[in-house]
Structure formats: structure tokens, C-alpha cells
Amino acid sequence: MPATVIPSASVPWHGRTMLRHVDAHTLLRYASPVILVLLWQGACSTGMVSTRQVASPMQVIMTGWGLLRDGTLGANLGVSLARAATGLAIAVVLGVGFALISGLSRLGEDIVDAPLQILRTLPALAMVPLFILWFGIGEVPKIALVALGATFPIYLNLHKGIRSIDPRLLEMTRTLGLSRLQTIRDVILPGALPDLLVGLRFAVGMSWLMLVVAEQVNAESGIGHMMMEAQDFLRTDIIMVGLVIYGLLGLVSDQVVRLMERALLSWRPVHQRGQGA
């Protein structure tokens, strides 16, 4: 009997290419932070950097593990996440609302755009005293500060997206007899979605920046409050834990928005090329 040839279970060529592309991309993306951490640890271990001024990565890991075990890190992290999520949700509502008002009407732009541009140029720290006077020292001023900072990227990018809609599409909606609400839902928002997602990415980053400011002013909980208490006792290791947490939160939230972008904009050629590379 002729010998039976068993086909090798090999990955298709395009699959191997995609895997190599993903692996190379992943390595390049995360190699530089790892190298920086190793250099940081080496500088602390050799005495080039004093651990009294800057805690070493090993100290940060051990301190973070201790804070996690005793519940301090989990409790403060939960409070910070709630503040950032609430402020960002409010910012999305405000940013989308203002962009629709300003982007769909010249009169709306004349009324809305100038005050928002003025507010956008004000430094966040300058608003803290007013927010405390207006809202007290509870959660409201902290959430309001996050919402204030995160609103502008959404507004600016969505406004640009709305104004970039092809006028021929709008003319077609009038020809088809679509109502104003149907035009916004079926044409304007889908057409401006790429710009909205870009604004959302900037807004997510801005929400964490504003949270750092908010939690260091009259806060009784949160990562920023934990860092301020550590400052009083010269605990640079706890301060570094807080900074690492803020950085990781920013990275993870940005990745979430990027995944949303790939899922919602999979029809765009640039994303199709990325998936097939």
C-alpha cells in the first residue's frame, strides 16, 4: 500500500504574517517601558539615585502589594475610578450636546462656541476655589472638575466631524424626506463617529489629569489623597505607587477606547488593512 502522507498542521502564510506583525508590534510597544524600569532599578541599586528621593521599582512593587493586601489601595482605587467614570460620562453628554448645537446651526455656534473657548483656556487650578465655593468640599467639585476638562476634547473633535459631513449627504436626506432627528441619528452622528472617538481618547486622558488635581484638594479618599498623605510622611514609595496606578489606568483606558474604535470603525479601509496585515 502506498504510504499515507499526513499534511502538516501549518498555519497559513497570511496567518503567520499577521502573528509576526502582532508579536513585533507588541514587543516594540512594551519594550521601552520595561527597559526604563530596568534602568530605574539599576540606578537605584547602584546608588546613582537615592531611594529616599525616588523609590526603586522593587520598593514600589512591595509597597503596592502591601497596600493591596490591607485594602488601602483597593478602596482608594475604587473611589478614583468612580470619580473619573462619572466625570467622563457627564463630559460625553455635555460635549456631544454642545457639539450638536454648535455644529448644526450657525446661530448655535455663535451662542455656544465663544463661551466654551473661553472656559477651555482657563487653567484647571484656577477653577478649584470657585468649585469649592459653589459645590462645597464633597464629591461634586471633584467630579465637576473632571467633567470640565474632559468636555472640551469631545466638543472640539465632534464639532469638526459634524462640519466635515459631505453637504451632498445632507441634501440627500432632505430629498428623502428624513426628519431632523433621523438625519442626526442616521447620517450626522455615524459620519462624525471617527472624530468623536478621537475626542473620546483625548477626553479619557484629560479625565485622569484632572482627577490628579481634584484629588489633591480637600479629598478624604482616592489615589491622589493617598499620595498627599504619603507626602506628609516622606513616603516616596507610596507616591510612586500612586503615579504608577495613574499611568496604568491611563494606558488601559486608552486601549479600551482603541478597541472600541476598531470595532465601531471596522468598515473603514485603514482598519481593514490593519486587520489583514
Q: Map grid coordinates 464633597 to a residue.
A: 138
What's 6's DSSP letter?
P
- pLDDT at position 274 over 70: no
Q: Higher pLDDT residue, 21 or 84?
A: 84
Q: Which three cell numbers stand for residue 201?
A: 481618547
**Separation in Å, CA 25 to CA 19, 20, 33:** 10, 8, 14
* Residue 168, pLDDT score: 84
- pLDDT at position 90 over 90: yes
* Residue 232, pLDDT score: 82
- pLDDT at position 31 over 70: yes
- pLDDT at position 11 over 50: no
- pLDDT at position 9 over 70: no
Q: Mean pLDDT across the stretch 114-120?
A: 89
Smallest CA-to-CA distance from 203 within 164, 166, 148 is with 148
CATH homologous superfamily of 59-269: MetI-like (1.10.3720.10)
Q: Higher pLDDT residue, 217 or 85?
A: 85
Cα-based torsion angle of the residue sequence 66, 67, 70, 75 in order, rounded to the nearest 10 degrees: -160
- pLDDT at position 124 over 90: no
Q: Mean pLDDT across the stretch 125-145?
A: 86
Q: Mean pLDDT across the stretch 227-253?
A: 88
pTM: 0.79
Q: Mean pLDDT across the stretch 172-183?
A: 82
- Per-domain boundaries in the chain: 59-269
* Residue 20, pLDDT score: 53
Helices then strands, counting H and E runs in the chain, come out as 12, 0
- pLDDT at position 116 over 70: yes
Q: Mean pLDDT across the stretch 41-60?
A: 84
Q: Mean pLDDT highest for which of 127-131, 173-177, 245-249? A: 245-249
**Separation in Å, CA 170 to CA 158, 165, 166, 187, 188:** 17, 8, 7, 8, 8
- pLDDT level of residue 25 (50, 70, 90 thresholds): low
Range in 67-71, 87-91, 139-143, 216-220 with the lowest mean pLDDT:
216-220
Residue range 72-85, pLDDT digits in tens? 889 999 999 999 99
- Across the chain, mean pLDDT equals 82
* Residue 152, pLDDT score: 93
* Residue 224, pLDDT score: 87
Give the side-chain half-sphere CA count within 13 A for 223. Answer: 27
